[in-house]
Amino acid sequence: MPLIKDGQFVEDSWTVLQQDDEVPPKGDVIVPLERYLSDTDELNRRVGRVGVALENTADPDDIAPYLNDIDLVALTFPAFTDGRAYSQARQLRHHLGFGGELRATGNVLADQAGFLKQVGFDAFEVTPNQSIDIWVKASEAVTLAYQRGYDGNRKTRDKLRPSPLPQHPSDCAAVAEQSAPA
């Protein structure tokens, strides 16, 4: 699958392994959570980085003790309407302080790009026919966010600039004046 990082297609150095696949002696691999938990030491010791793929029903706390050894976490969207991985991403970044690559996999659409960045994703596996222009355009369609404390480059109100307090008399006062008895 094509991989997007920083608004462009990049070479994907990672090999995705299934539960029973043989682990190559070197190179970067992404393994399922169960595999990582059963072969933790072996995976951490080998040459090459290790990433863990979490189902969207997994509890990120399960990999909390190992986050220093994990370079990448892949979260998945079985359908783009299934939004569990947004919360997993948020927990990984903010509760657990995960600083490695957070990769969105599965059904990842350009129209989700902004949200995905805000919850902390920084790598996106997209469908083969995706155009980078549409991706970039969609991810930058909205540059503002009301929610404080999320990531990404959308600006919150307090970061944009403090709003001046409304000036009185407001419209209401003007109306009151009009309808005041003569």
Partner 1 sequence: MYRYDEFDTTFVRQRVDQFRDQVDRRVSGELTEEQFRPLRLMNGLYLQLHAYMLRVAVPYGTLNSRQMRKLAFIADEYDKGYGHFTTRQNIQYNWPKLPDVPNILDHLADVEMHAIQTSGNCIRNVTADQWAGAAGDEVEDPRPYAELMRQWSSLHPEFSFLPRKFKIAVTGAASDRAAIAYHDIGLRLTRSANGEIGFEVLAGGGMGRTPMLGVTVRDWLPKDELLAYLEAIMRVYNLHGRRDNKYKARIKILVHELGAEEFTRQVEEEYKRIDAPRVMPPAQELVRIKDYFAPPVYEDLPDQSPELARCMSDDADFAQWVDRNVVAHKQPGYAIVNISLKPVGGVPGDASSGQMRAVADLAEQKSHDEIRVTHEQNLVLPHVRKSDLYGVWQTLKTHGLADANIGLATDIISCPGLDYCALATARSIPISQDISRRLGDISRQRDIGDLKIKISGCINACGHHHAGHIGILGLEKRGEEYYQITLGGSGDETASIGEIIGPGFSSETVTDAVETIVDTYVGLRQDGETFLDAYRRLGPNPFKEAVYATH
Q: Please provide the DSSP assignment of 103-168 as one string.
A: EEEES--GGGHHHHHHTT--EEE--TT--HHHHHHHHTS--B-S-TT--SSPBPHHHH-PPPPPPS
Q: Which of 3, 109, 132, 136 binds partner 1 (CB under 8 A)?
A: 109
Site of tokens 């903010």 = 94
Binding status of residue 10 toward partner 1 by CB under 8 A: no
Which residue, 72 or 110, is less far from partner 1 as judged by CB? 110
Which residue, 17 or 110, is less far from partner 1 as judged by CB? 110
Binding status of residue 113 toward partner 1 by CB under 8 A: no
Residues 100, 74 contacting (CB under 8 angstroms):
no
Binding status of residue 180 toward partner 1 by CB under 8 A: yes
Binding status of residue 62 toward partner 1 by CB under 8 A: no
Phi, psi of 18 (to 5 degrees): -90, 175
Residues 54, 75 contacting (CB under 8 angstroms):
yes
Name the 3-class secondary structure at 88.
Answer: helix
Minimum separation from the CB atom of position 63 to partner 1 (A): 15
Name the 3-class secondary structure at 37.
Answer: helix
Q: Site mask, partner 1, residues 128-147, x = CB under 8 A? A: ------x--xx--xxxxxxx
Count how many residues are written for the chain: 182
Which residue, 36 or 77, is less far from partner 1 as judged by CB? 77
Minimum separation from the CB atom of position 13 to partner 1 (A): 28
Binding status of residue 158 toward partner 1 by CB under 8 A: yes
Which residue, 10 or 141, is less far from partner 1 as judged by CB? 141
- Positive/negative CA dihedral, 85, 149, 63, 123: positive
Q: Site mask, partner 1, residues 65-94, x = CB under 8 A? A: ---------------xxxxx-xxx-xx--x
Residues 28, 51 contacting (CB under 8 angstroms):
yes
Judged by the rule CB under 8 A, the positions of this chain that interact with partner 1 are: 80-84, 86-88, 90-91, 94-95, 109, 111, 114-116, 118-119, 134, 137-138, 141-150, 152, 157-158, 160, 162-163, 165-166, 168-173, 175-176, 178-181
